[in-house]
Chains A and B, each alone.
Chain A
Amino acid sequence: MNKNNQNKIKKSDVSSWDTVTIRELLKSHNGISEKFRGKITLEPDKDFKLTDKIGKNLENTCPTNAISYKNNDSVSLDVGKCIFCGNCQEELPELIKISSSFDSAKKKKIDLVQTFSESIPFGKTFDDIGKDLKNKIDKTFGRSLAIREIDAGSCNGCEIEISALNNPIYDIEQFGIHFVASPRHADILLVTGPASKNMEKALKIAYDSTPEPKMVIAVGACACSGGIFGQNYATTGGIDGIVPVDVFIPGCPPRPQALIYGILLAINKI
C-alpha cells in the first residue's frame, strides 16, 4: 500500500509549490519588467533639435541599419529591422524611447517604418488580448485556431518564445489556439528566421500545402526584414519575398504577449 502511494503527489506538496511558483508567476506575468526592451518609438523631447551631426551619428550606431537619416531633418526608423540592442537609446535618449510595451505588430510592412510618429496609449494585458482573441476565434474559427510554426533559418531565439506560449503560464490553449504538427492542418503559419536560401523551397511547399483561407505571420526582426543577417548570398532578407505576409511582429525575439497580439491582429483581418 505504501509503495503504491509513493508515486502520488501529496496535497501538501502541491500547495507548497503553488505558493512559490504558480501564484507569484500568475501575478507577475502581466507585470512586464520595466527594463524590458519591447517597443521602440521616436518621441522627441520638447527642446530636441535634430542636427546633421546628431542624425549621422545616430544612423551609424545602428548595427542593422534600421535608422536612416535624410539631410532635410528627418529620421526614420524601421522597427522590422531593429534587433533591440539599445545602442540608439544610449546615443540619443532625447529622441529614441524604448519602452516595455509590446504592441508593435503591424499588418503592412510599410507601417513598421516610423518617422516621428505619435504614440498611441496601449494598456492591454495578456489576459485582455487573450479574451478578445478567444471571442474572435469562437466566432470565426469554430472555437479553435490551428497554428503551424516554421523555422526558416532563425537563431532559435524566436522558437524559445513561441514554445513559451505553450507553457502553463501563458497557456495559449486556453484561448482556443493550438500548435499542429503539419501545415496541412493549419490556419496560420508562424514563420521565423531571415528565410535562408536552403529553406526557401521547404517554406514554399509548406505554404502551398496549407489549406485556404490561410494567413502568414512573420515573427521577429529576421522574418520581417532579414534582421542582422540582412540579405546576403545565403538569406533572402525577410520572408515576404517568398510568401505573402499578413502580419509582421517585430522584436528580437518578440515576447509571448507580443506574439498573441500579432495573432489577434491577423485574425481581425478576416
Chain B
Amino acid sequence: MSIEIIQKYFSKLDQFRHGLKKYVKNNNEIHVELDDSFQLIEFCEFLKSEIYLKLLTIIYCDERKTNHTFSIRYLLGSDIDDVFLFVIVSIDKKHAYFPSLSDVFPSSTKYEREINDMFGIQSQENSNLKPLILHDFPENLFPLRKDFDANTKLNYTPKKFEFTPVTGDGVCEIPVGPIHAGIIEPGHFRFSVLGERIVNLETRFGYTHKGTEKIAENMSLDDAVFLSERISGDECVANSMAFCQAIEKIAQLEISEKAKQIRLVFAELERIYNHFGTLAGILTDIGFSYDASRLNILKEYMMQLNEKLSGSRILFGINQIGGVKIDMSNESLSEIHSVLNHIFQNFEKILKHIQSNSSVMDRLRNTGIINKKTVRDLGIVGISSICAGIDTDTRKIHPYGYYSSIKFEQTPTENMEQQVKLQKQIGDVLSRFLSRVDELRYSKKLIDSMCNLDDDEICIPLKSELPPFSSGLGYAESHRGETLHWVMMGENNSIFRYKIRTASFANWPIIEHAVLNNIVPDFPVINKSFDFSYSGNDL
C-alpha cells in the first residue's frame, strides 16, 4: 500500500477524533485501538458514511491469559482501495457484552450469533440471539474459549430450535433437510408458503460443524495447511492459499515468483472446474439434462487435468507455507493451454446452444432476484454480488500473490455498470449464470497470459520461530468470493487463534431474500445458482 493511501486514511480518521491510537501492520492493515467500547457505534457509523467501509468480519479472541480480557476486532474493508481496517476493542470481564453493530451493518448479526455460540458473550441490545452453529450443546460451555479442551467428551441434550412463526390464513410450513434429496451437504430450510409462493424462509445450519477453528489451535503450522484445505473441499486451493499467505505475512516471507505463478494457475483451474459444475447444476435443476451432461463432461475433463498435474482430482496438497509442493514445467503449462483451448471451444458451442433455447432462458430470467441494496447491507461477496452490479473481486481490489503483477484492464465485470443500466444484471439466476460464464472466460485468459514460468525455487521454508501474539490476515478469491483467514500466533509456533470467514459464511443470509415471492419448485435452481458451501459456513 502506498504512503499516499495511508496518509489519506489517517487524515480521514483524524477527522473523527484526534489522537486515535492507530498504526500500520503487514503493509495494508490499519489497526485502530479504541479504549472505550461505547464509542464503537459512533465510530463505525463514521467509517461507513465518510470512508465507505463495509464490515467484513468480527474476530473474537480469548486473551484472558495475556491481557486479562476478551478482545474483539472488527475487520472493515474498502471496495476501492487496497486497505483493511481493524478496529480493536477490549471487553473486560465484568460486563460480558459488547455493543451490537446491527443498526450500522446489518451483516453483523450473523457474526454476533456466532460469537454468542462460541464464546458465550452477547451483544448489549440482542440478549436473546438464536444459536447459529451449535445444536443441543451443553449450557455454559463455549468451544472457542481457552479453558475448553477440544477433545472434551460432551453429553448433548436435545433442545428445541424456535423458528420464527409465520401465521395467517392459508400459510403452511414446509420443513426441508438436513438430509436433502440430491447429493449435497446438510442444512435445514423452513419455508412458509402461501399457495405456491414462498413468503418466508428461515435457514438453520451447523450440521457440518467439525470444530475446525478449535482443533487448529492444537496443530502445527504444516498440519494446519491440510486442515485449511478441508474447510471446504472444492475451494481448497483458495483457502489454503489464504492461510499460507497469512503465515507468510507474519513471518515477512516473500515467496518466489514461480511459486506465486503456480498458485495462480491452480487457483484458476479450481475456479474453472467448479464453475462448470455449478453451471451444469443449474441446468440439471431446471431439467435441461442434455447440456448439463455436456458441461459435466467438461468438468470431468478438468478434474482429470487436475489429477495429471497434481495427483489429486480436486487439487488437494498444492500449497505449503513458503510456496507450493507441486512443481510445474513450461511443458505442462503449454499442455494446460491446449487442453483449455479444446475445452473452451466446446464450452462456447454448448453456451450458444443454451442461449438459443428460449425455455431455458425464460426459466432463468427473473427467478430469484436479489436487490442491490440488500446485497450491500448484508456484505455479500463474489458472484452473488457481481450479479447485482457490485464488484467485490479480491483479485482486483486487494491483489495478492501473482495477481498484483497482472493488469486488470479487462475484468469480467468491466461492463458492469452499463449492464446494470441495460437491466441485464438484475440479480436473477440468469445474471448469475452469465457472470459465471464471464469469470470462466476471464480465468482462461489469466492462465493463457502465463506463458513462461520463472526458473526459481518453488518453496522457501520458514526459518525462525514466529513472534508470539503477532497476527496476519490472508485473503484470496475463491470461486464463491472473498475468503479471509486471520491467524494469531501463540508461543512455540503454535496457533493461538485461527479465524476463518469463507465467502459462504458471508453469503448464506442472501438466500432468505432471494427466494421471497418465488415458487417452491424454483428453490433448487436458486440455491444452486448461488452454490454456497455448507461446510465452509459451519466450519
Main secondary structure of the interface of A (DSSP, over half): loop
Contact A233 B154 (CB under 8 A): yes
Partner of A6, one of B134, B206, B356: B356
C-alpha gap A28/B300 in the complex (Å): 11
A153 at the interface (CB under 8 A from B): yes
C-alpha gap A144/B212 in the complex (Å): 39
Contact A202 B178 (CB under 8 A): yes
Residue with the highest number of chain B CB atoms closer than 10 Å, among A25, A164, A253:
A164
Contact B226 A199 (CB under 8 A): no
Residue of B nearest to A86 (CB): B317
Residues of A with C-beta under 8 A to B533: 156
Question: How many whole Å from A244's CB to the nearest CB in chain B?
Answer: 19
Contact B297 A25 (CB under 8 A): yes
Residues of A with C-beta under 8 A to B297: 21-22, 25, 167-169
Q: Which of B101-109, B301-309, B424-432, B461-469 binds A?
A: B301-309
Residues of B with C-beta under 8 A to A161: 313-314
Contact A196 B293 (CB under 8 A): no
C-alpha gap A27/B298 in the complex (Å): 15
Question: How many whole Å from A226's CB to the nearest CB in chain B?
Answer: 9
Question: How many whole Å from A250's CB to the nearest CB in chain B?
Answer: 14
B312 at the interface (CB under 8 A from A): yes
A193 and B208 in contact (CB under 8 A), knowing A37-B311, A164-B300, A202-B179?
yes
Contact B304 A28 (CB under 8 A): yes
Q: A28-B304, A149-B183, A154-B233 are in contact. List 15 more A-B contacts (CB 8 A).
A: A17-B346, A29-B300, A32-B307, A35-B308, A151-B179, A153-B208, A155-B233, A160-B234, A167-B300, A182-B181, A202-B178, A229-B212, A232-B210, A233-B149, A234-B210
Q: Mark B331-343, 1 if CB is under 8 A from A, else 0.
A: 0000000000010
Interface size, chain A (Cβ < 8 Å): 69
C-alpha gap A20/B298 in the complex (Å): 10
A229 and B215 in contact (CB under 8 A), knowing A25-B300, A255-B313?
yes
Partner of A35, one of B299, B300, B310: B310
Residue of A nearest to B149 (CB): A233
Instruction: Please report which residues of chain B, range 121-135, place their CB below 8 angstroms from some CB of chain A when the two chains form the complex.
Output: 134-135
A-B contact pairs, 23 of them (CB 8 A): A7-B353, A7-B356, A17-B294, A20-B342, A21-B294, A32-B307, A35-B307, A63-B226, A83-B230, A84-B316, A85-B317, A151-B184, A154-B185, A154-B208, A157-B236, A179-B183, A181-B181, A193-B208, A198-B134, A198-B208, A200-B156, A253-B233, A255-B313
Residues of A with C-beta under 8 A to B299: 164, 167
Main secondary structure of the interface of B (DSSP, over half): loop
Instruction: Please report which residues of chain A, range 170-224, place their CB below 8 angstroms from some CB of chain B when the two chains form the complex.
Output: 170, 179, 181-183, 193-194, 196-202, 206
A225 at the interface (CB under 8 A from B): no
Residues of B with C-beta under 8 A to A162: 183
Q: Enumerate chain B interface residues (CB-CB to A < 8 A).
A: 134-136, 143, 148-154, 156, 158, 178-179, 181-186, 206-212, 214-215, 219, 222-223, 226-227, 230-234, 236, 277, 293-294, 296-301, 303-304, 307-314, 316-317, 325, 342, 345-346, 349, 353, 356-358, 533-535, 538
C-alpha gap A40/B149 in the complex (Å): 33
A167 and B293 in contact (CB under 8 A), knowing A36-B311, A228-B227?
yes
Q: Mark A57-93, 1 if CB is under 8 A from B, else 0.
A: 0000001000000000000000000011110000000
A159 at the interface (CB under 8 A from B): yes
Residues of A with C-beta under 8 A to B534: 156
The 7 A-B residue pairs with the shortest CB-CB distance in the complex, in nearest-first order: A157-B233, A181-B181, A234-B211, A63-B223, A167-B296, A35-B311, A155-B233
Contact A159 B185 (CB under 8 A): yes
Partner of A163, one of B149, B183, B223: B183
Inter-chain contact count A-B, CB under 8 Å? 204
Residues of A with C-beta under 8 A to B303: 164
Residues of A with C-beta under 8 A to B149: 233
Residues of B with C-beta under 8 A to A37: 311-312, 317
A118 at the interface (CB under 8 A from B): no
Contact A155 B232 (CB under 8 A): yes
Residues of B with C-beta under 8 A to A17: 294, 346, 349
Residues of B with C-beta under 8 A to A164: 299-300, 303
Q: Mark A227-247, 1 if CB is under 8 A from B, else 0.
A: 111111111000000000000
Residue of B nearest to A60 (CB): B220
Contact B233 A199 (CB under 8 A): no
Contact B210 A229 (CB under 8 A): yes
C-alpha gap A198/B117 in the complex (Å): 14
Residues of B with C-beta under 8 A to A252: 316
C-alpha gap A72/B294 in the complex (Å): 56
Residues of A with C-beta under 8 A to B236: 157
Residue of B nearest to A183 (CB): B179
Contact B317 A155 (CB under 8 A): no
Residues of B with C-beta under 8 A to A198: 134-136, 206-209
